[in-house]
A and B are shown apart, each in its own frame.
Chain A
Amino acid sequence: MTTAKQKLVVVGNGMAGMRTVEELLKIAPDVYDITVFGAEPQVNYNRILLSSVLAGEKEMDDIVISPRSWYDENGITLFTGDPITAIDAEARTVTSESGRVSGYDALLLATGSNPLVPPIPGMNKQGVCTFRDIRDVETMIGAARDHRRAVVIGGGLLGLEAAWGLKRRGMSVAVVHLMPTLMERQLDVAAGQLLQRDLDRRGIAFFTDGQTEEITGETRVRSVRLADGREIPADLVVMAIGIRPNTTLAKAAGLDVNRGIVVADNMRTTDPRIYAVGECAEHRGQCFGLVAPLWDMAKVCAHHLAGGEEMLFTPPALSTRLKITGIDVFSAGALTAAGEEDDEITLQDAAQGTYKKLVLRDGRLVGAVLYGDVADGAWYFDLMRQGTDVADIRAGMIFGQAHAETGGKGSSGVSVAQMSDDTQICGCNGVSKGTICRAIAEKGLTTLDEVRAHTKASASCGQCSGLVRQILAASLGTDVVAEAEPAMCKCTDRTHDEVRRTILAQQIKSMPELMRTLGWKSADGCAKCRPALNYYLLCAWPGDYADDAQSRFVNERVHANIQKDGTYSVVPRMWGGLTSARELRAIADVVEKYAIPTVKVTGGQRIDLLGVKKEDLPGVWADLGQAGMVSGHAYAKGLRTVKTCVGSEWCRFGTRDSTGLGVRLEQMTWGAWTPHKFKMGVSGCPRNCAEASIKDFGVVCVDAGYDLLVGGNGGIELRGTDLLARVGSEDEVLEYCGAFMQLYREEARYLERTAPWINRVGIDHVKARVVTDEEGRRTLHRRFLYSQRFAQNDPWAERAAKGMAAHEFQPLRKVG
């Protein structure tokens, strides 16, 4: 190593340039002092994902590749918003717009490309933009906020992604395309038509064979006029008809330029000190707009910058996918048979909306177009790249890898285990299955994020994430990858458990403070996190936290169950399933007085009054309250009912007073809020008429005492209870029950029933806390009772008699 470092100047702070720098730092970190000039004000971001930002699926922060700290850590000098305006190849200096002059020993041009802008009258009007950088996306998002109608010119990959993004932002969108079918460079006619049909169904209008003649309007665009006379109203026009390599600088410096900056196999331009990579470069007459060849160029260029001689660039085979949620398109190689010696195999399933076409030449696969079902894309692409002789599998290959390799006896769908190590999994970054498997084994990776960080597989467009996850699962020998606990929702990166720990550790007692402390990304959360946070705060600080009605689902806000027609159902509490003549009479009177259409007995032994109008709710409650009835909380993530059998008082088999015990349990637990609904049952003998073994907490009375059962569920996923313990007295039943509920309240995630919670933490953990640890059990039970002091207020009485939340039940105004 020489004492003085050489100077490398990079013109262009985009994906290709920075990838080259990354590769260079990997193999020769100390050779160069690196200076980067970027025209855009931002750091290097993933341009491919701009369409996801436009569609609202990602935020700008999500698509940054190299934060400013990365440049600092690697000693790179970065000038953003300061494009290079001149190269003096003889003096070996560059000059920037702001007048900075930098000398270089090696210069890397990574100036990318500019959108093609056709010479159409009206291009300079307000509301006309291209789709290339962050500023364009900001323009479009702004237009979607203030305007309704967008026209996208260009029905290729970029144009369609722009159209979909604008549609998702609420605009009505039309696409003008010069050719008869969409994406004609990547799709054959049949697939192009399927794509148009599907997008049409999603509300995007198409004008194919449409040649734009003029953009009309005064200062702002008003419409797009086509050559055949059609005119489409527009408040926003997005030009997405293609790109042109940005070669101005290179041309002025006297380098050879055709369509792009001419480079040799070693990425050198005609000046040996000057290199070019990315969309601005032209290699053997070909320019590239997809990311995979750019990564290859970066690797080759870094190799030569570091003094290597051997590695040469050869253009890789290319495949394309479209990033429109729910629309799966894959295309690689030839789209149609070129002549008589080529064969086409097609498969179309109109009902499923799938289409596959394979193009064969000399017994080898040379092209594939897939629509709707792209699971086998990687396999076909692999057969193409390998030049595999497919004569033996030809008959079945259209049905996919699983079918072809098992003679049709295998299960449908491709197994990653069947893929060869050479199969390319991530097209963007050129990562093979073998590379991923080696990284997993050598570095002990266990999560998708780790695999992404180490191999870059699925790090660019992300569409191969599913395959990478499958490979990870297969490598780890599990069915599914143990995901790290996911973030609560899109408003935060924090998990449920982290949030709860923070609430307790920092004694946070209000939602705004909690969101501030944890750096919530949205101003006031969303419908997922707000109810959860409200519950967690309430559970942690029952005496201090002021419940936030506006963060509760409607049922818990108005204390009734919303029905499909917007009316409500009312279920009064009947302790342990017991009722009386007085209560029944009051119910009958209410039904007649308010013309309640349906009266039904519920599965939890209560009476359900269905079809109550919202404004009648306070009146219904007042009348029921007169007869001594309170809310049955049939709407709550909380204690629902305690179902009982008649027990020893009447039943000839009954061993104990199950009804009486049920009443005691319900009186202790009513009004409790829990992570999800909580149901109980008490049976007087092992015949179990109260179905206690599918309840969250069940009791089965036996001669020797009481069997306590937990974690049952009779819903979508049937789960029988686990035996928690056998106890000898009713008082013990109550203590165990309170302790169990409190443990569930404190440890389960919001909207997690007891069944999945116990599956997650294990029944042994629950037993250790509630059964083995006696002092712990009593503490849990005490905490439960303390919380109940604040929870056991009848919400109906508060609203009917005390006029609480009156605004809920009256319209703001009646007009006309």
Chain B
Amino acid sequence: MADWIEIGRVEDIPKPGSRLVETGKGPIAVFRGTDDAIFALHNRCPHRGGPLSEGLVHGHKVTCPLHNWVIELENGEAVAPDVGCAAPVPVRVADGRIWIEIGMRLEVAHG
């Protein structure tokens, strides 16, 4: 089982907005919604690899700054008509602190 790593506090992230976490597994974007929900995705848009951490956050979605793809923060899936997925990273919040787990691999879709 991979370890959970503490990366900061909820209020360190603009609301709504995101911050970047540099990791050995590449940069990870951590998002905060207006409802204080926290999400984490590998910081690569499935389209052309744009940095999602720089995008505009609205609801539980982020719009990529490069070509305006809209990505679901919950699961990293592009909102149709675009198709693609930014790998989601498991995230937990406890006592206002944010933890992520980056040891895991993305589950492979069937089919």
Q: Which residues of A contact B (CB under 8 A)?
A: 55-56, 145, 148-149, 168-170, 172-174, 202-206, 232-233, 325-326, 522-527, 530-531, 549-555, 558, 562, 564, 566, 807, 811-816
Complex CA gap A562/B68 in Å reads 13
Tell me whether B90 is interfacial, beta carbon within 8 Å: no
Contact yes or no, B58 A202, CB < 8 A: no
**Are A566 and B8 CB-contacts (below 8 A) given A326-B81, A815-B22?**
no
Q: How far is the CB of B33 from chain A (nearest CB, A)?
A: 8
Contact yes or no, B16 A550, CB < 8 A: yes
Tell me whether B87 is interfacial, beta carbon within 8 Å: no
Across the interface, A807 reaches (CB within 8 A) one of B19, B50, B54, B77, namely B19
Q: How far is the CB of A200 from chain B (nearest CB, A)?
A: 8
Chain B residue contacts of A55, Cβ below 8 A: 80
Contact yes or no, A811 B59, CB < 8 A: no
Complex CA gap A174/B111 in Å reads 7
Complex interface residues of chain B between 38 and 88 (CB less than 8 A to chain A): 48-51, 54-59, 61, 63, 65-66, 68, 70, 72, 74-75, 77, 79-81, 83, 85
Contact yes or no, B109 A145, CB < 8 A: no
Complex CA gap A555/B56 in Å reads 11
Contact yes or no, A813 B58, CB < 8 A: no
Complex CA gap A816/B21 in Å reads 11
**Are A172 and B23 CB-contacts (below 8 A) given A524-B59, A550-B57?**
no
Chain B residue contacts of A552, Cβ below 8 A: 56
Q: Which residues of B contact A (CB under 8 A)?
A: 5, 7-8, 12-17, 19-25, 27, 30, 33-35, 48-51, 54-59, 61, 63, 65-66, 68, 70, 72, 74-75, 77, 79-81, 83, 85, 102, 107, 109-111
Chain A residue contacts of B30, Cβ below 8 A: 812
Across the interface, B13 reaches (CB within 8 A) one of A148, A168, A812, A816, namely A812
Complex CA gap A224/B106 in Å reads 22
Contact yes or no, A524 B58, CB < 8 A: yes
Known: A524-B58, A527-B56, A807-B12. 12 other contacts (CB 8 A): A55-B80, A173-B111, A526-B58, A526-B63, A527-B58, A530-B56, A549-B14, A554-B56, A811-B22, A814-B21, A815-B5, A815-B23
Complex CA gap A325/B80 in Å reads 9
In the complex, which residue of chain B has the Cβ closest to the Cβ of A527? B63
Chain A residue contacts of B34, Cβ below 8 A: 523-524
Complex CA gap A553/B107 in Å reads 32
Contact yes or no, B107 A813, CB < 8 A: no
14 contacts between A and B (CB under 8 A): A55-B80, A148-B107, A149-B110, A168-B79, A172-B111, A203-B83, A203-B109, A232-B110, A233-B110, A553-B56, A564-B66, A566-B49, A807-B12, A815-B24
Chain B residue contacts of A233, Cβ below 8 A: 110
Ranked nearest first, the 5 interchain pairs of A and B with the lowest CB-CB distance are A205-B111, A816-B24, A172-B109, A527-B63, A170-B77
Contact yes or no, B56 A811, CB < 8 A: no
Complex CA gap A109/B25 in Å reads 63
Across the interface, A812 reaches (CB within 8 A) one of B21, B54, B57, B85, namely B21
Contact yes or no, B74 A551, CB < 8 A: no
Contact yes or no, B75 A170, CB < 8 A: yes
Contact yes or no, B19 A811, CB < 8 A: yes
Chain B residue contacts of A530, Cβ below 8 A: 56, 58
Complex CA gap A205/B111 in Å reads 5
Contact yes or no, B80 A56, CB < 8 A: yes
Chain B residue contacts of A149, Cβ below 8 A: 109-110
Chain A residue contacts of B79, Cβ below 8 A: 56, 168
Contact yes or no, A550 B17, CB < 8 A: yes
**Are A550 and B15 CB-contacts (below 8 A) given A812-B8, A813-B7?**
yes
Complex CA gap A525/B80 in Å reads 18
Complex CA gap A512/B22 in Å reads 33
Complex CA gap A431/B70 in Å reads 37
Q: Most chain-B Cβ atoms within 10 A of its Cβ — which of A148, A530, A566?
A: A566
Complex CA gap A507/B85 in Å reads 43
Complex CA gap A662/B111 in Å reads 63
Q: How far is the CB of B16 from chain A (nearest CB, A)?
A: 6
Across the interface, B54 reaches (CB within 8 A) one of A168, A172, A554, namely A554
Complex CA gap A526/B63 in Å reads 9
Complex CA gap A814/B5 in Å reads 11
Contact yes or no, B66 A562, CB < 8 A: yes
Q: How far is the CB of A532 from chain B (nearest CB, A)?
A: 12
Complex CA gap A326/B83 in Å reads 12
Contact yes or no, B72 A813, CB < 8 A: no
Complex CA gap A553/B90 in Å reads 27
Across the interface, B65 reaches (CB within 8 A) one of A232, A325, A553, A816, namely A553
Chain A residue contacts of B15, Cβ below 8 A: 550
Complex CA gap A79/B65 in Å reads 50
**Are A566 and B19 CB-contacts (below 8 A) given A233-B110, A522-B59?**
no
Chain B residue contacts of A172, Cβ below 8 A: 109-111
Chain B residue contacts of A527, Cβ below 8 A: 55-56, 58, 63, 68, 70
Complex CA gap A227/B25 in Å reads 43
Contact yes or no, A812 B72, CB < 8 A: no
In the complex, which residue of chain B has the Cβ closest to the Cβ of A204? B111
Complex CA gap A148/B7 in Å reads 26
Complex CA gap A812/B28 in Å reads 10
Complex CA gap A148/B109 in Å reads 8
Q: How far is the CB of A540 from chain B (nearest CB, A)?
A: 21
Contact yes or no, B81 A325, CB < 8 A: yes
Chain A residue contacts of B54, Cβ below 8 A: 554, 558, 562, 566
Complex CA gap A232/B16 in Å reads 39
Chain A residue contacts of B75, Cβ below 8 A: 148, 170
Q: Most chain-B Cβ atoms within 10 A of its Cβ — which of A145, A169, A170?
A: A170
Contact yes or no, B12 A812, CB < 8 A: yes
Contact yes or no, A145 B83, CB < 8 A: no
Complex CA gap A523/B60 in Å reads 10
Chain B residue contacts of A554, Cβ below 8 A: 54-56, 65
Contact yes or no, A523 B23, CB < 8 A: no
Complex CA gap A754/B5 in Å reads 51
Q: How far is the CB of B35 from chain A (nearest CB, A)?
A: 7
In the complex, which residue of chain A has the Cβ closest to the Cβ of B70? A527
Complex CA gap A326/B70 in Å reads 18
Complex CA gap A269/B36 in Å reads 59
In the complex, which residue of chain A has the Cβ closest to the Cβ of B61? A526
Complex CA gap A531/B63 in Å reads 12
In the complex, which residue of chain A has the Cβ closest to the Cβ of B6? A813
Chain B residue contacts of A174, Cβ below 8 A: 110-111
Q: How far is the CB of B5 from chain A (nearest CB, A)?
A: 6
Chain B residue contacts of A566, Cβ below 8 A: 49-51, 54
**Are A168 and B80 CB-contacts (below 8 A) given A233-B110, A814-B22?**
yes
Contact yes or no, A815 B80, CB < 8 A: no
In the complex, which residue of chain A has the Cβ closest to the Cβ of B75? A170
**Are A202 and B110 CB-contacts (below 8 A) given A554-B55, A812-B7?**
no
Q: How far is the CB of A156 from chain B (nearest CB, A)?
A: 19
Complex CA gap A432/B49 in Å reads 49
Chain A residue contacts of B24, Cβ below 8 A: 815-816
Contact yes or no, A812 B19, CB < 8 A: yes
In the complex, which residue of chain B has the Cβ closest to the Cβ of A525? B58
Across the interface, A815 reaches (CB within 8 A) one of B21, B66, B111, namely B21
Chain B residue contacts of A205, Cβ below 8 A: 110-111
In the complex, which residue of chain A has the Cβ closest to the Cβ of B13? A812
Chain A residue contacts of B12, Cβ below 8 A: 807, 812
Chain B residue contacts of A168, Cβ below 8 A: 79-80
Chain A residue contacts of B63, Cβ below 8 A: 526-527
Across the interface, B74 reaches (CB within 8 A) one of A170, A523, A526, A553, namely A170
Chain B residue contacts of A564, Cβ below 8 A: 48, 50, 66
Complex CA gap A233/B111 in Å reads 10
Complex CA gap A562/B59 in Å reads 23
Q: How far is the CB of A112 from chain B (nearest CB, A)?
A: 29
Q: How far is the CB of A556 from chain B (nearest CB, A)?
A: 11
Complex CA gap A558/B14 in Å reads 14
Contact yes or no, A531 B56, CB < 8 A: yes
Chain A residue contacts of B102, Cβ below 8 A: 815
Across the interface, B21 reaches (CB within 8 A) one of A326, A522, A523, A813, namely A813
